[in-house]
Structure 1
Amino acid sequence: MPYAQPDHIAEGEFILRIDARFPYKDKRQCEVLIEEARAISVNAVFMVLHEICRGEWVRKRKPLALELLEAWRDGWQHPLAAPLSGCAIALIRGEVISDEQAASVMTLISNHPYQYNALAIARAATGRPRRLDQLARQVIDTWAMRQS
């Protein structure tokens, strides 16, 4: 499926609608939201991944979170899908990746402007996201310079 051209208004509304309100217990509804995100923007798709792999619910429902991750990956091709899936798996399993691994993923993300949710996932996967604040700021500044 080709990437949707971002509709920033729809993207913002979608993110607000699902942020901390993702229907974790309803797999079918989650799958509907995955498809909806794909029609909105890549950042919306990464917001869905962010919801799947983060939060209190994951500790209680790891098998479901892994199923939702599979649904998220299924049929969607993007250069960041594999590295972010690795970060998501670590988060779901309660594991961490090294700062070096996260920095490597963040460097990949830097080549895909405005993927803020992807950046958040990579940082979170270290278990110490603040340690990568400087790199995150550099990535965001790079995106801002491309726009000007």
Structure 2
Amino acid sequence: MTEREFIESIDFGFPYEDKEKSMDLIAKGRAISANASFMVLHEIVRAPNEVAQETKESLYHCWRNGFSHDLLDPVKEAAEALLANKFISVTRAIGLMCEIEKYINQYCALSIVYFSCDDTEGLADQKYNEIIEQWQSA
């Protein structure tokens, strides 16, 4: 399965209530790529409101267990804010996006940070789009 196929297969279709399937997807994402693994995280921390907070937190801890990547720290801050139903500041989100920018094609990590702020003025949106354009032209 390619990274793209994997991402498309779990986008809006994550099996939150099935621990075995969830753990399988966490493992598959890691085996495919960092971007695929960050997509799993994206699905966990942006789960629908119907998913119990305890389930989200449990899946988050399972995802974190054994995962290592240079982007873990910047993404972790944003992911934990989303998990807690809070926002980080737009300024902080832009700063984190700048850290992610160096890691070409880490779209899912970038989107986690993007969604972690309440960007009413479009500043994070502008930075997000600049990074995407830069990666696509690389």
**TM-score of the superposed pair, with normalisation by structure 1:** 0.85
Per the TM alignment, residue 123 of structure 1 is displaced from its structure 2 partner at its CA by 0.8
Amino acid at match of 1:67: S
2:27 paired residue number: 35
Q: How many residues align?
A: 137
Matched, 1:115 2:106: yes
Q: Any stretches of 5+ residues in structure 1 without a counterpart?
A: 1-8
CA offset digits 1:105-136 (Å, max 9, x no partner): 10111011111111111010003384412111
Do 1:43 and 1:116's aligned partners in 2 also have CA atoms closer than 8 Å? yes
2:11 paired residue number: 19
**TM-score of the superposed pair, with normalisation by structure 2:** 0.91
2:36 paired residue number: 44
Do 1:97 and 1:125's aligned partners in 2 also have CA atoms closer than 8 Å? yes
Matched, 1:104 2:123: no
1:133 paired residue number: 125
Q: Percent of counterpart pairs with the same letter?
A: 37
Do 1:69 and 1:85's aligned partners in 2 also have CA atoms closer than 8 Å? no
- SS of the residue aligned with 1:95? coil
- Structure 1 distance, partners of 2:2, 2:51, is 31
Amino acid at match of 1:78: H
Q: Any stretches of 5+ residues in structure 2 without a counterpart?
A: none
- Structure 2 distance, partners of 1:39, 1:114, is 17
1:92 paired residue number: 83
Superposed CA RMSD in Å reads 1.7
- Structure 1 distance, partners of 2:61, 2:48, is 20
Amino acid at match of 1:15: I
Higher helix share: 1
Amino acid at match of 2:129: R
- Structure 2 distance, partners of 1:26, 1:52, is 13
Amino acid at match of 1:50: H
